[in-house]
Amino acid sequence: MSITYLEAIREAQARALRENPNVYIYGQDIGAYGGAFKATKNLAKEFPGRVLDSPISEDAMVGSAIGASLEGMRPIVEMQFADFSANGFNQIVNHAGAYFYRSGVSLPITIRLPNGGNPGAGPFHSQSLESLYAHFPGLIIMTPATVDDAYNLLLEAIALDDPVLYCEHKYLYNRVKAERLPEEVSFSAGKALCRRPGKDLTLVTYAAALYDALAAATELEKEGIDIEVIDLRTVKPLDTPTILQSVARTGHLLAVSEGWPWGGINAEVIARVASKGFHLLDSPPERLNCRDTPIPFHPDLWLAHKPSAASIVKKVRQMLEW
* Contact of 55 with 101, CB cutoff 8 Å: no
Task: Give the whole-angstrom CA distance, residue 42 versus residue 10.
Answer: 9
169 catalytic, yes or no?
A: no
Q: Which helix (H) or strand (E) segment is 66 a member of?
A: helix 58-70
Alpha-helix residue ranges (DSSP H) falling in 116-225: 130-134, 147-159, 209-221
Gap between the Cα atoms of 93 and 113, Å rounded: 15
Name the phi and psi angles at 109, rounded to 5: -120, 135
Task: Report the DSSP pairing between strands 3-4 and 177-178.
Answer: antiparallel
137 preceded by a cis bond (ω within 30 of 0): no
Cα end-to-end distance, the chain, whole Å: 47
Beta strands in 64-126 (DSSP E): 74-78, 110-115
Spatial CB neighbours of 85, under 8 Å, sequence gap ≥ 6: 58, 79, 92, 111, 113, 129
The DSSP symbol for 97 reads: T
Q: Which residues pair with 77 in a beta bridge?
A: 26, 111
Dihedral over Cα of 232, 241, 152, 264: its sign: negative
Contact 165, 144 (CB under 8 A): no
Catalytic entry in 95, 125, 135, 169: 125
Can you say how many angstroms the Cα of residue 146 is from the centroid of all Cα atoms in its chain? 11
Q: Which of 290, 229, 233, 284 is nearest to 258 (CA)?
A: 290
Query: Which residues are identified as catalytic?
Result: 125
